[in-house]
Structure 1
């Protein structure tokens, strides 16, 4: 059963009221819930409510609260993904998988070889809205306790690098360490702020490689094979989370 997000205003001492049209459609028409079914809800403060459905209609679902507890389904890592915007649905896949893995913050970036071109503020806002919707649906599916922050699209060189303790650039071909060996060789704490940068389909240009070097990025390889950009997202984030997450 998927998890549903609710606002504090929908919760009283004993029950949760669902009147959001999208959630109602999912609950009533898709999942076909009925009285007595068990549902999980989560609020803005990351409290999870186990509930039993007490009333179902096309306009309202009521669920009685059985138990309330703080969610533990959240990364302890302070991890940011900066992903060069990909073409077609590849960016949607990258967002989805990053959210499934628990990434708290995602920054879409523009690089020299970024294929999609954003010509207006309206187009940018539309993309961000779409990605937030993908993130929201993914959080429900994987029972994640909080929505990630998806920042505005920025050029690579405008990233605020001062806030990060560890900066990693995933390169197509690198004479440096594989990511796994790098992660095991550098000091870190639970408070370390980690930035992982992944490029577009065509990789980074020489100017961007110079940018990484000048700004003390650790250039790493994800293995001997050339990965699709959206696959690189899964590989890199999984490796960081495996090595550093409690």
Structure 2
């Protein structure tokens, strides 16, 4: 069944209302009609099978048939901090990491960020990233829409490290600990009765500077390598996220 995220205020006790682009998608693309069933989610964990009762060009009303248990969400919460890459690479990061299971995205500016940051223009980019996260979450049957924050500066990102149980900064020149070296002991000591928060920090096309890595370590991060191959900036977060979810049992690893 097709899945749609709707604002919580449009998700009632007995019926829901779908408006805007999603309503147009149902009427124009899916050729929906009364009696058709779809899945609706409020993006905060509440979702249901609903049956369309009326269709207007800009609004679709549906009755709740069955509330569904939360599914599709990893029990360990992983955020992706991505230094702003060139072109549309950030769109790829958000789309694919949403499908895999990331909970939120923190774009940031670092020493080697190539993109010329313009706060006025960035608002439009963030709005597009939010839309991409929503569409990817629908496709992957997620119960939530990952949050996309406004871009932050490097020092501000460092201050956020204290909010996490584990922070891994991906550093291609790391000769010591690899991601697996950090994940295996971390995963073995987890208590599933409480949630955990993990942050993956990925540098731009030129990677992190050595001083940035040392600053991150001083703030509590683990500098880790991702194996013998050098990954692109838009690939590193996907690979690290997949490894974390595997080691914590989200992909059959436990």
Q: Quick check: TM above 0.5?
A: yes
1:125-172 alpha-carbon deviations (Å, 9 max, x no partner)? 222212111111212222211122222211222222222221211111
SS for the counterpart of 1:50 is strand
Find out whether 1:219 has 2:223 as its counterpart: yes
Find out whether 1:152 has 2:150 as its counterpart: yes
Find out whether 1:195 has 2:195 as its counterpart: no
Match of 2:47 in 1: 48
Task: Indicate if the aligned counterparts of 1:72 and 1:145 stay in contact, CA closer than 8 A.
Answer: yes
Alignment length, in residue pairs?
A: 244
SS for the counterpart of 2:65 is strand
* More displaced 10-residue stretch of structure 1: 197-206 or 72-81: 72-81
Match of 2:6 in 1: 6
Deviation, 1:8, is: 4.5
CA distance in 2, matches of 1:45, 1:220: 32
Match of 1:125 in 2: 123
CA distance in 2, matches of 1:151, 1:117: 18
1:189-229 alpha-carbon deviations (Å, 9 max, x no partner)? 44333221111111111221221333342221111111111
Return the TM-score normalized by structure 2: 0.87
SS for the counterpart of 2:34 is coil
Alignment of 1:47-126 (within 5 A): 47-119=46-118, 121-126=119-124
Structure 2 stretches of 5 or more lacking a match? none
Match of 2:246 in 1: 242
Change (3 A) 1:11 1:75: same
CA distance in 2, matches of 1:21, 1:213: 45
Structure 1 stretches of 5 or more lacking a match? none
RMSD: 2.0
SS for the counterpart of 1:175 is coil
* More displaced 10-residue stretch of structure 1: 61-70 or 23-32: 61-70
CA distance in 2, matches of 1:154, 1:14: 41
CA distance in 2, matches of 1:158, 1:13: 41
Match of 2:172 in 1: 172
